[in-house]
Structure 1
Amino acid sequence: MSDIPVGSPPAPPGRHAAPGGWYPDPLDRSRERYWDGWQWSRNTRAAERPPQAPAPQPVGAPGAYAALPATGYGVRSTGVSRQAATTADGVPLAGWWWRALAGLVDAVLVGVVTGLLSLPFYTELVRAVGAYWGETFRAAQAGSTTPPPTPNFAAMLSGTDQLLLVLIGLAVGLAYHLPLLRLRGATVGMLACGLRVVRLDEGRAPGPLEWPRVLTRTLIWVLPGALGVFPFTLLTVADVLLPLWHPKRQTLHDLAARTQVVRLR
């Protein structure tokens, strides 16, 4: 029979669920159990001090709020937050700004390589743009008020060229993220910022991430950026911003792969 208790810590007034943190274990008052913001986990630890309040009761139970300590709602922290500060086994989660900085470093590295490989496709386009601005400048010097006709720049990249550009961006992104996440659990940007990708609520688990998890996470992150059109760009923006509100600080690709990002230093 499972040792995970039924019910949840009582919610502070005005909140729909208690914040993640360590609460007195309803099954054993000599220890604490981690509540992740949604449900009890299997992670327990010895109580830091003798219990001073009854165990949390299911939301809605008589006297649920009365059972709470005067401060902190049973959470051992200096403030109340709907977001978990650590994984279920106590490893600090990465903050949004650190993740953004790591992502920026990765984007610059991938962008430089992708740009260099894409240069041959833009040669005619760059030449046409240069010629157009040269003619415009000469017309202005001659006193002409009529600019030269604007070339159809879009037609200079065929459908095949555009498809190849998408494939180049996708290939570079996969070649960058897949081996690093599999072997190191982190990209270059993450390593520079002291971050690592871990399995959900298993921050201390040894060993690399599994290939299916790595592939799922990478595809959902890289593919919209490689396509580069509006609906997919909007998806990338939502992916980046989601950890600001998600209770476990997960992105869309974290949710799909069941991962979290922790900070090691």
Structure 2
Amino acid sequence: MTNATPPPMGWYPDPAGSDQERYWDGERWTRNLRNPPEPEPRHVTGHVPETLAPVSRVPSSPRQTTAAPRHGEVAPPRNKWGTTADGVPLAGWWWRALSTVIDFVLMWAVVGITMHEKIASIMASYQAFLDESMRRISAGASPSDVITTQSLSDAGFVYDMTNLVGAVIIAQAIYQFIMLATCAGSVGQLVCGLRVVTTNQGKDHRRLVWWRALVRATAWACVEIGNQVIVLLTPFSYLMPLWQRSRQTIHDAIAGTQVVRPVRQLDAE
């Protein structure tokens, strides 16, 4: 086989085997493709190896195709895993866990200070029930006969504990609503550099509208109350960001919110 002069620049049948034409720039194949034009007489310039350029045609000027990006063109940005649609990084699970722990400690510290007498009364009732149960078991009674639903109800501390937990949930929901509506985040979230935003609007620096903050806080409270019946509901909600693309908990999904951790200026430098 003899060497042949490469054909001029132009559109030729795609050597990759597709039904389209590929543009030859005189030295190599480009990524530009187009649908073949209407059949027209073709002028063969000479024998050219098929691996270099199949049948040569009258060259035509390249035109932009919508089938694929042009050579060297950057494809439009897409929503990446771990960011909002406008490119703001979503908060990592460990940052969210840390902020939750901070809020939990803060809330129960306030409860311990303001309701210490009630908590002391509950603990005293529980200790009395425990001592009485151990005394009866030591005397030969069966544990299943000692610790029953009726005995727990008579002890009183279960009812008081339920009321206390319910009050704490309601108080924390109100706290979350106020903080979200005024600061777009709880104290724990602000300490960790987190912010609650509307879904896929990470660059919106405005506070959450009051009704969205209310929906989120109410949904959180419903999950916590439901956890008293479905014990794994709260852990499931808090673990959801580990596998969900938008990293939303149940209350995030209901309220249409996401938690972001914007890159600070010092981090960017």
Aligned to 1:217: 216
Instruction: Report the structure number with the largest CA radius of gyration.
Output: 2
Aligned residue number for residue 110 of structure 1? 107
Instruction: Give the % identical residues.
Output: 34
Corresponding residue of 1:257: 255
Aligned to 1:168: 167
Does residue 207 (structure 1) correspond to residue 180 (structure 2)? The answer is no
Distance 1:153 1:126, change over 3 A: farther
Gaps of 5+ in 2: 1-65, 265-269
Alignment of 1:65-80 (within 5 A): none
8 Å CA contact retained: 1:125, 1:153: no
C-alpha offsets along residues 70-93 of structure 1, whole Å, 9 cap, x if unaligned? xxxxxxxxxxxxx71211111111
State whether residues 112 and 119 of structure 2, in contact with CA within 8 Å, keep that contact through their aligned partners in structure 1.
no
Alignment of 1:1-265 (within 5 A): 32-36=75-79, 84-131=81-128, 146=139, 152-157=151-156, 161=160, 164-226=163-225, 228-231=227-230, 233-264=231-262, 265=264
Code of the residue aligned with 1:221 in structure 2: it is W
Using the TM superposition, give the Cα deviation of residue 175 of structure 1 relative to its aligned residue in structure 2, in angstroms: 2.5
**Superposition CA RMSD, Å:** 3.5
Tell me which amino acid in the other structure corresponds to 1:225. E
The change in CA–CA distance for 1:86 and 1:118 in structure 2 (over 3 A counts) is: same
Q: Give 1:230 shift.
A: 3.7
Contact in 1 for aligned 2:133/2:146 (Cα 8 Å): no
Deviation of 1:200 (Å): 0.9
CA distance in 2, matches of 1:181, 1:168: 20
Letter in 2 for 1:84: W
Task: Give 2:82's aligned amino acid.
Answer: A
Q: Could you tell me whether the CA contact under 8 Å between 2:129 and 2:155 is conserved in 1?
A: no
Letter in 2 for 1:210: V
Asked if 2 retains the 8 angstrom alpha-carbon contact of 1:113 and 1:172, the reply is: no
Q: What letter matches 2:95 in structure 1?
A: W
How far apart are residue 35 of structure 1 and its match?
Answer: 3.0
CA distance in 2, matches of 1:128, 1:164: 15
Offset, 1:103? 0.9
* TM-score for the superposition, normalised by structure 1: 0.58
The size of the alignment, in residue pairs, is 189
Q: Alpha-carbon deviation of 1:228?
A: 5.0
Measure, in 2, the Cα distance between the counterparts of 1:136 and 1:211: 50
**Cα separation, partners in 2 of 1:135 and 1:200, compared to 1, 3 Å:** closer
One-letter amino acid matched to 1:250: Q
Q: Quick one: distance in 1 between partners of 2:129 and 2:157?
A: 20
Alpha-carbon distance between aligned partners in 2 of 1:131 and 1:259, rounded to the nearest angstrom: 46
Report the CA distance shift for 1:218/1:262 in structure 2 as closer, same or farther (over 3 A). same
Q: Give the secondary-structure state (helix, strand or coil) at the position aligned to 1:261.
A: strand
Gaps of 5+ in 1: 1-24, 37-82, 140-144
